[in-house]
Amino acid sequence: MKKITIAIDGFSSTGKSTLAKQLAKKLHYIYVDTGAMYRAVTLFAMRAGFVEDGKIDKKPLIQSLEEIDLRFVFSTNLGFAEMFLNSENVEKEIRTMSVSRNVSQVSELAEVRKKLVAMQQTMGADKGIVMDGRDIGSVVFPDAELKIFMTASPEKRAVRRYKELLDRGEDVKYSDILENVQKRDYIDSHRAISPLVKAEGAIDFDNSDVSMDDQFQRIYEHARRIIQKEA
């Protein structure tokens, strides 16, 4: 059966990665979480002292980009690939609030985007991939056969993120998370390069009041129809 490319974009905490993982598993496709790549570069920048409280020292970060090796390593235990930064498993650390506070600012840099987009295009060159992010349908794979643009209210998304972080043992306040979600929405959709936009041909999906199972079933059926048509 012919393989397709599935591009999932949308605001933070809209459940993009849950949906992308489910689709990839069911279709036996590769799943790539591009947010993890931007988060890993941000962690690198934070550790090197190039970024703090959302303020970036751009020049040294850009000069250091060559030193950043990013890899996804599949974990059979977890059923998905974890992010490795220069051979270190950073999957947990990149999801912390301190990384979330700086990631949108790092993602605004053209040089960072150029490096990561090129990597993403190589990963998806043979199709059979589900990729989620902000610019997948618009920039990385504008010819993707299936593009989905996910939204949900900021409050619903902040509650989801709040529960996730509490489950991971982080000491967080709901109001800080809501503020972070809204701030990232703004920066991600107003930046000069590759802002978050609904890509041409993308299907809108607001999941504020839809269960994850329902959402998966609807989109999976849609993907199957496209795959059958392509065959």
Residues that bind ligand DC (CB under 6 A): 12, 34-35, 38-39, 103-104, 107, 133-136, 184, 188
Nearer to ligand DC, 104 or 145 (CB): 104
Nearer to ligand DC, 12 or 207 (CB): 12
- Asked if 201 and 208 touch (Cβ cutoff 8 Å), the reply is no
Tokens linked to 96: 């912390």
The least distance separating ligand DC from the CB of residue 123, rounded to whole angstroms, comes to 12
Nearer to ligand DC, 34 or 215 (CB): 34
Half-sphere exposure of residue 48: CA atoms within 13 angstroms, side-chain side: 19
The least distance separating ligand DC from the CB of residue 187, rounded to whole angstroms, comes to 7
Q: Concatenated DSSP letters for 62-122?
A: HHHGGG--EEEEEETTTTEEEEEETTEE-TTGGGSHHHHHHHHHHHT-HHHHHHHHHHHHH
The least distance separating ligand DC from the CB of residue 169, rounded to whole angstroms, comes to 19
Nearer to ligand DC, 143 or 221 (CB): 143
Nearer to ligand DC, 104 or 215 (CB): 104
The least distance separating ligand DC from the CB of residue 225, rounded to whole angstroms, comes to 26
- Asked if 116 and 38 touch (Cβ cutoff 8 Å), the reply is yes
The least distance separating ligand DC from the CB of residue 76, rounded to whole angstroms, comes to 23
Residue 125 burial class via C-beta count within 10 angstroms: exposed 0-12, middle 13-18, buried 19 and up:
exposed
- Asked if 23 and 220 touch (Cβ cutoff 8 Å), the reply is yes
Tokens linked to 27: 């279709």
Nearer to ligand DC, 4 or 112 (CB): 112
Q: Concatenated DSSP letters for 48-62?
A: TTSEETTEE-HHHHH
* DSSP 8-state class, residue 137: I
The least distance separating ligand DC from the CB of residue 12, rounded to whole angstroms, comes to 4
